[in-house]
Amino acid sequence: MKQAYSLFALYLLIASASAAQNTSCPPIPATTGIHYNAETLLDASAPNGDPRPAVIIIHGHSGNRRTHINQVLEVVEEANWAWFSIDYTSPADIHQAATFIQCPGRFNILRNPVLIGEDTGAALALRLAGDGNYRSVVVFGTNSASPLKDPRIPVLIFHGDADDEFPIAPIQKACSLWQHCAFIPIPQGIHNLENWHPDQWSWKEDLTAWLRADRRGEWRDIVYALSNGQPLLMDAFVPEGSGPFPAIVVVHGGGWEAGDRRTCVSPLLDVLAQSGFAYFSIDYRLTPYVSNADQLEDVRSALRYVHQHAQRFHVDPNRIALAGESAGGQLVTQLASLPCADCSVNAVLSLYGVYDFSQFTKDVDGKQMLTRIFGNWSPPALQDASPIHHITRTLPPLFLIQGTNDELYPGALAYDKALTTAGVRHQLVVLKGAPHGMENWVNNPVWLKSLTDAAEWLKRN
């Protein structure tokens, strides 16, 4: 898929440079029920601000501009694109709608939209894509395997591998013969896009990536896994430049029962971005609804996702590290001690982490917390979940940051000593007087500098 993505990026660059600035058509508000000819309507979403790239949606043989394609519209909006969903009775109508939409000054969009078609609309999109007015075409469940009019047009095809209306084999073969075609099968997917199940919705991330092409910066609300049909989300940041970039998967704290991918970790994310790292800040399932082992599996799923999509995010799969704070420190150091073949890491950063759960057995509050995390816990169960009991010489290098005004300080010292005894390459930075939580360090430049030191250490390791 690399060739198709890079060509699409070139199309974006050309289109951005040639955004229409003259106003030969009066502007009209983007809304529903716009007449593009005397009898036929379209709906539009083209917000104010800088001109945006746009898509034109062509529905299939059933329904209209408001049915069957709503999920596609949501993805397009989340990618910060404009969209136009049209009614039509013939290919001529589609051409007329495209001319209406692209009249300079009418809508706040860049030139040369993307065509997206589903069902019979997919075949129409492929047929129209080669007339020079479109930058690429995306299709769902197409029945067309005909040669493209313009073989330079990038094509992205989603097709259910259980489609009994238009079997997958001839479509996949046709794609392999086209110059810039990416084919993504939907496991167990039937013909109709709107009937694909949540565990088949990875196409949304693939479409978002296609639309974003080689854009850099922040990318929010990425679904990296599903848990009982519910999405697990991450936010990503990709630096400027060609890459591939070293990447950090960031795991928030919150006592295993609170927090999210944007809470408390923003000081670290800012430093990583400024230091040239790609980062992936993740949510994971929280106790008491899941176990600590389930949370570890969520982190593994996030690592697998980053490894599998390294090319998409321009990261080096051989330079991926984990970073965690507080409860996240336990998760990242425990995971590093219990590696898996498809989610390996090259370094670990842990900030004021928990390395030995036995420290919480000494008072009532600690025991109640352990019950929330583990249920009916026992000393062997706590030992099994504690990173200090899984230290081996095969651990990746670790960088530990710990404040002295933090109840977890003795645990960090004990973990540091155990790592030293085992001969594990690591470094402990002790912050005199620092409390728990980097969000409490923002007014102390000495404490904050430890994050920059950590980034420099990560670059070396």
**Residue 41: strand pairing partners:** 35
Query: Does residue 450 have a pLDDT over 70?
Result: yes
Average pLDDT, the chain: 91
Among 14-18, 259-263, 346-350, 360-364, which stretch is predicted with the lowest mean pLDDT?
A: 14-18
Query: Does residue 13 have a pLDDT over 80?
Result: no
Q: Pick the most confident of 146-160, 212-226, 398-412.
A: 398-412
| Amino acid letter for position 137 | V
> Six-digit token pair at 4?
């198709």
pLDDT of residue 339: 81
In 3D, which of 115, 132, 15, 99 has the Cα closest to residue 57? 115
Query: Does residue 14 have a pLDDT over 90?
Result: no
- pTM (2 decimals)? 0.82
Selected residue with higher pLDDT from 129 and 184:
184
Q: How far apart are CA 428 and CA 112, in angstroms?
A: 54
Identify whether the C-beta of residue 139 lies closer than 8 Å to the C-beta of residue 118: yes
Give residue 19's pLDDT band: very low, low, confident or very high (50, 70, 90): very low
Query: Does residue 215 have a pLDDT over 80?
Result: no
Q: How far apart are CA 456 and CA 75, in angstroms?
A: 36
Q: How far apart are CA 161 and CA 385, in angstroms?
A: 41
Give residue 1's pLDDT band: very low, low, confident or very high (50, 70, 90): very low
Pairing label, strands 426-431, 347-351: unpaired
pLDDT of residue 5: 46
Query: Does residue 214 have a pLDDT over 90?
Result: no
> Six-digit token pair at 399?
């960088």
Give the Cα-Cα-Cα angle 264, 266, 272 (nearest 5 degrees).
135
pLDDT of residue 42: 97
Residue 192 CB neighbour total at 10 angstroms = 17
pLDDT of residue 48: 86
**Residue 234: strand pairing partners:** 222, 282
Mean pLDDT of 53-66: 93
**Residue 427: strand pairing partners:** 399
In 3D, which of 63, 313, 32, 78 has the Cα closest to residue 195? 63
Q: What would the pLDDT profile of 78-103 be if each residue is shown by its tens digit? A: 888 999 999 999 999 999 999 999 99
| Amino acid letter for position 198 | P
Cα–Cα distances (Å) from 352 to 252, 270, 314, 431, in that order, read 12, 19, 30, 10
**Residue 118: strand pairing partners:** 140
Query: Does residue 4 have a pLDDT over 90?
Result: no
- Domains delineated in the chain: 2-212 (3.40.50.1820), 217-460 (3.40.50.1820)
Give residue 23's pLDDT band: very low, low, confident or very high (50, 70, 90): low
Give residue 20's pLDDT band: very low, low, confident or very high (50, 70, 90): very low
Q: What would the pLDDT profile of 395-424 be if each residue is shown by its tens digit? A: 999 999 999 999 999 999 999 999 999 999
Q: What percent of the chain has pLDDT over 90?
A: 77
Query: Does residue 152 have a pLDDT over 90?
Result: no
**Terminal C-alpha separation, the chain:** 31
Mean pLDDT of 22-41: 88
Q: At a CB cut-off of 8 Å and minimum separation 6, what does 421 contact?
A: none
The 3-state DSSP class for residue 155 equals strand
H or E element, residue 227? strand 217-227
Question: Phi and psi at residue 410, in whole multiples of 5°?
Answer: -60, -35
Q: What would the pLDDT profile of 279-334 be if each residue is shown by its tens digit? A: 999 999 999 999 999 999 999 999 999 999 999 999 999 999 999 999 999 999 99
What is the edge-to-edge ordering of all strands in the sheet holding 217-227? 217-227, 230-238, 278-282, 245-251, 315-325, 347-351, 398-403, 426-431
| Amino acid letter for position 207 | L
